[in-house]
């Protein structure tokens, strides 16, 4: 009787060992490509309130460099590697201070494209994106094209920002706040305002020594054409440093509140 009991106990323990091995093999599978791509959906590139899932593809204007800020919902500390199919079209560089900030440099001509693989080695996650080299491209989520004139391309923002925020957004888009050098250009922008009553333009007061100056645009171009609604001599006690175009096409100065703004790109 004891002998049979020992045999049965041995068989039972062997069975438990086999089941444990089987369970381990099911709970610790090798990571497959489709699993890595699924995990890659938890990596977000340039995530914003307006674009909560981040970029699905990357557009860069010819000759430009753009910032790519990475965020993740994965648990382990990330370790990113960018691998473009054709590094003659685009290259990626990590910021020296921020390991989640990268720069994409367009090397190819407008009209070419490639695919890039973004791998998070720490989490075994992969994200694949198309990279398209453009010309005079502004993100349609944020800008609406107005018209081109003499090799200049004009857009109006779809969101309101302060003047300082608008300046940064225009620079990151590869352009600048609009500068106005003629009545024809002023009329083009006035017609492009749509339903907006006030739109920021690329001029502000700048202090030189002890005096406030209003003699050049954000690009450094001299102020030659003017359409002020009474040109002010200084920002005044309410710090009205920044200029916008009103519904009549006139230029007025005001303080830092949120308006739509004009983006200008050049050849």
**Average pLDDT for residues 155-177, to the nearest whole number?**
97
Q: Concatenated DSSP letters for 95-137?
A: -SS-TTEEEEEE-SPTT-EEEEEEEEGGGTEEEEEEEEEESS-
Would you place residue 13 in the very low, low, confident or very high pLDDT band (cuts 50, 70, 90)?
very low
| Residue ranges of the chain assigned to CATH 3.10.100.10 | 143-266
Whether the per-residue pLDDT at 19 is higher than 60: the answer is no
The fold for domain 39-134 equals Immunoglobulin-like (2.60.40)
Whether the per-residue pLDDT at 16 is higher than 70: the answer is no
Torsion of CA 215, 220, 224, 227, to 10 degrees: -70
Q: What is the CA radius of gyration of the chain?
A: 28
pLDDT above 70 covers a percentage of the chain that reads: 88
| Residue ranges of the chain assigned to CATH 2.60.40.10 | 39-134
Q: What is residue 34's predicted lDDT score, i.e. its pLDDT?
A: 75
Of the ranges 18-27, 46-55, 65-74, 170-179, which one carries the lowest mean pLDDT score? 18-27
Q: What is residue 186's predicted lDDT score, i.e. its pLDDT?
A: 98
Would you place residue 31 in the very low, low, confident or very high pLDDT band (cuts 50, 70, 90)?
very low
**Average pLDDT for residues 128-142, to the nearest whole number?**
97
Cα dist from 192 to 25, 87, 150, 163, 248, whole Å: 63, 39, 16, 18, 12
Would you place residue 112 in the very low, low, confident or very high pLDDT band (cuts 50, 70, 90)?
very high
157's CB contacts (< 8 A; 6+ apart) are 142, 143, 144, 166, 169, 260, 261, 262, 263
Condensed to tens digits (0 to 9), the pLDDT of residues 206-264 reads 999 889 999 999 999 999 999 999 999 999 999 999 999 999 999 999 999 999 999 99
Condensed to tens digits (0 to 9), the pLDDT of residues 68-110 reads 999 999 999 999 999 999 999 999 999 999 999 999 999 999 9
Would you place residue 23 in the very low, low, confident or very high pLDDT band (cuts 50, 70, 90)?
very low
Is-contact 113 130, C-beta < 8 A?
yes
The fold for domain 143-266 equals Mannose-Binding Protein A; Chain A (3.10.100)
**Average pLDDT for residues 132-145, to the nearest whole number?**
97
**Average pLDDT for residues 178-193, to the nearest whole number?**
98
Q: What is residue 3's predicted lDDT score, i.e. its pLDDT?
A: 41
């Amino acid at each position: 009787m004891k002998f049979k009991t020992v045999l049965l106990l041995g068989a039972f323990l062997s069975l438990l060992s086999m089941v444990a091995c089987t369970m381990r093999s099911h709970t610790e599978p090798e990571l497959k490509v489709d699993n890595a791509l699924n995990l890659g959906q938890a990596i977000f590139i340039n995530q914003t309130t307006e674009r909560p899932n981040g970029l699905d593809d990357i557009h860069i204007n010819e000759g430009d460099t753009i910032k790519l800020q990475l965020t993740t919902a994965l648990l382990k500390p990330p370790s990113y590697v960018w691998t473009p199919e054709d590094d003659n079209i685009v290259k990626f560089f990590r910021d020296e201070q921020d390991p989640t900030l990268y720069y994409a440099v367009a090397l190819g001509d407008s009209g070419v494209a490639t695919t890039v693989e973004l791998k998070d080695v720490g989490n075994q996650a992969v994200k694949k994106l198309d990279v398209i080299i453009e010309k005079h491209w502004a993100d349609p989520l944020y800008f609406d094209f107005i018209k081109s004139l003499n090799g200049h391309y004009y857009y109006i923002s779809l969101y309101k920002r302060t003047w300082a925020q608008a300046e940064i957004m225009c620079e990151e888009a590869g352009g600048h706040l609009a500068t106005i050098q003629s009545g024809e250009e002023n009329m083009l922008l006035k017609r492009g305002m749509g339903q907006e009553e006030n739109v920021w333009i690329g001029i502000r007061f700048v202090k030189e020594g002890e005096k406030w100056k209003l003699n050049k645009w954000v690009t450094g171009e001299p102020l030659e054409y003017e359409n002020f609604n009474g040109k002010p001599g200084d920002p005044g006690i309410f710090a009205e440093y920044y200029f916008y175009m009103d519904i009549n096409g006139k230029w007025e100065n005001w303080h830092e509140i949120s308006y739509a703004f004009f983006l200008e790109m050049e050849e």
